[in-house]
Structures are given as structure tokens and as C-alpha cells.
């Protein structure tokens, strides 16, 4: 597939799309109606394949022991939050779409199913790996996308299919997803710390809720994890935010380092209503 140009918003259908900024040689556009931000044109399939090699799923390749420990603590926090909405028992079924190596999913007691498009990914033995064709053969009590939806070129089609596989009253859990509804992004979008060639899309709490409402899932809570995460560094964030604010107020075009800060990532929990 060649680099495809988006002409209508994938969420609200508007054709009022406007160039927003450029980062790492990628052009980002925004929908003037719902605020959806996206790379335009989309990366080609061949380009996407270069992003996700076998090494991408090997945490020991990318992270040292300290970082792996932080990620493990974050996984435990994510699970703790999720258990407020989902009873993790052996008779329940969980699907983790974009499960990577399956480490996060392996922390649950329920029957675990995982889909990972990259055939080279080595998935935990506690997870039954599914191919795309047999995902819809089952009904799930919980579907997870952890740091995934922003990577999928046809996310609107995938979400629609997955919602059909969710039981009535089931939970769809989106987490570790970039959020544009925060101060750092407003002050300097082109320096947003979640701008990454692999992050094709940037949602916010409103337009992602619109996406799921179209599929009969209602947003029952949105959380901006930060204070309890092992990554919180308020003083560093404060220093960089002050620089961002100064440049913003002076209408300066200088690059400003974008700190993580509160709200740069979101967790959104949806419930299937009918």
C-alpha cells in the first residue's frame, strides 16, 4: 500500500482538515470539527513493517533493568485500575489486541487471548495467540488495547469489529494512549513528547469517546495516570513547562522540550451498553 492521503476525518467524517505541524519529517493534520490529530499521509505498509521488527517486542533489547522494573510497576498499576471495572476470574475471557509479548496480559487470571500482527513477536505461553480471522469466533468480557490504537492505520474498522466481539456489559480498556487535551500539547504541539513516527494518531478524551459511542460503547471513566506512576517527575516537568509557556506567550517559534506532565497520556474505560 502506498502512502494514503486522508481526506475525511476517521472519527466524525468532516472534510475540514488542516495542516497543523511537522515533526520528525512527518506532517500532522487536525480535524477542525472534533480535534482529531493525525499523520497525513499515512505511512505505507512497507514503512510500518520497518517499525515493528522482532527486536521491537524484546524489552530486554530496548530497556535496561531499571527501566524494566519501572514498566513492571506500571503494569501493576494498570491492572489495579482495571480491576475496579472488571472481575478477573477463570471463567472470564480477555482479548489483548496488540498484545506484544503478552507480559501485561499474563498478569491476569482469566482465559487469556492475544492478537499480535507481527509474526516474529514471542508471546507469553500463558496467552493463547489468535490470528485475525478467528478473533470474532469468541465473545469477550474484556478487550484491552494498551498503547495500541494510535499505531493502527485502519483503527476505526478494527474498533468496530472488536466491539461486536464484546459481550453486552463488557469492558473495552484503552490505556497508555497519547492525549492532546493537555497543557504541554497546547503550548507546543510540534514538540509533543508523544510525537513518534509510530504514533500515527493523537486522540483526546472527547473524540475517542465519540468513536466508541458510534459502536454502542459508553465512556464510563477517563483517567490521566501520572501521580501514581513510576515516571512522575514534577519538578523537571515544571521547569520545561515554564520554558514552553514563556515561548508561547512571546509567540516564539523556538523548539521547547515537551515534558510528560499530567494529561499527556490517557486511560479510557468503555462499557458496551446494548
Q: What is the sign, positive or negative, of the torsion defined by CA atoms of 60, 65, 71, 77? A: positive
**Taking a C-beta distance cutoff of 8 angstroms, is the pair 42, 202 a contact?**
no
Q: What is the pLDDT of residues 173-220, one digit of tens each?
A: 999 999 999 999 999 999 999 999 999 999 999 999 999 999 999 999
> How much of the chain, in percent, has pLDDT values that exceed 90?
78
Domain boundaries in the chain?
Answer: 54-179+197-242+263-272
Partnered with residue 18 across adjacent β-strands are: 30
**Which residue do the cell numbers 512571546 mark?**
250
- Residue 140: predicted pLDDT: 98
**Which residue do the cell numbers 501493576 mark?**
76
User: Average of pLDDT values for 153-167?
Assistant: 97
- Per DSSP bridges, beta strands 111-115 and 166-178 are unpaired
Kindly report the CATH class assigned to 54-179+197-242+263-272.
alpha beta
Q: Does the structure show a pLDDT above 70 at 255?
A: yes
User: Average of pLDDT values for 127-148?
Assistant: 95
Q: Cα separation of 151 and 47, whole Å?
A: 12
User: Average of pLDDT values for 231-257?
Assistant: 94
Residue 53: other Cβ atoms inside 10 A: 13
User: Average of pLDDT values for 13-17?
Assistant: 98
Q: Does the structure show a pLDDT above 60 at 60?
A: no
Q: Does the structure show a pLDDT above 70 at 58?
A: no
Residue 115 φ then ψ, to 5°: -115, 130
C-alpha cell at 96: 489483548
User: Average of pLDDT values for 20-45?
Assistant: 96
Winning range, highest mean pLDDT, from 64-78, 120-134, 143-157, 223-237: 143-157
Label residue 10 by pLDDT band (50, 70, 90): very high
- Residue 27: predicted pLDDT: 97
- Residue 57: predicted pLDDT: 56
Amino acid at each position: 500500500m502506498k502512502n494514503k492521503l486522508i481526506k475525511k476525518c476517521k472519527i466524525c467524517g468532516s472534510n475540514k482538515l488542516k495542516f497543523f505541524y511537522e515533526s520528525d519529517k512527518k506532517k500532522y493534520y487536525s480535524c477542525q470539527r472534533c480535534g482529531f490529530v493525525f499523520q497525513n499521509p499515512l505511512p505505507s505498509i512497507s514503512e510500518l513493517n520497518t517499525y515493528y521488527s522482532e527486536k521491537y517486542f524484546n524489552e530486554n533489547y530496548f530497556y535496561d533493568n531499571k527501566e524494566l522494573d519501572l514498566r513492571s510497576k506500571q503494569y501493576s498499576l494498570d491492572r489495579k485500575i482495571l480491576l475496579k471495572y472488571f472481575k478477573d476470574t477463570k471463567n472470564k475471557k480477555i482479548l489483548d489486541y496488540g498484545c506484544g509479548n503478552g507480559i501485561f496480559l499474563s498478569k491476569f487470571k482469566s482465559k487469556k487471548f492475544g492478537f499480535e500482527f507481527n509474526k516474529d513477536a514471542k508471546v507469553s505461553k500463558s496467552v493463547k495467540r489468535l490470528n485475525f480471522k478467528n478473533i470474532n469466533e469468541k465473545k469477550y468480557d474484556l478487550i484491552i488495547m494498551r498503547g495500541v490504537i494510535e499505531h493502527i492505520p485502519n483503527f476505526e474498522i478494527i474498533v468496530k469489529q472488536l466491539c461486536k466481539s464484546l459481550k453486552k456489559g463488557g469492558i473495552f480498556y484503552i490505556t497508555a494512549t497519547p492525549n492532546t487535551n493537555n497543557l504541554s500539547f497546547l503550548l507546543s504541539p510540534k514538540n509533543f513528547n508523544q510525537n513518534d513516527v509510530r504514533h500515527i494518531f493523537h486522540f483526546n478524551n472527547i473524540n475517542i469517546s465519540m468513536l466508541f459511542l458510534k459502536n454502542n460503547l459508553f465512556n464510563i471513566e477517563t483517567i490521566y495516570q501520572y501521580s501514581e506512576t513510576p515516571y512522575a517527575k514534577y519538578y523537571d516537568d515544571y521547569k520545561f513547562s515554564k520554558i514552553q509557556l514563556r515561548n508561547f506567550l512571546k509567540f516564539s517559534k523556538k523548539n521547547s522540550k515537551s515534558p510528560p506532565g499530567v494529561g499527556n497520556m490517557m486511560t479510557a474505560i468503555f462499557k458496551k451498553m446494548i
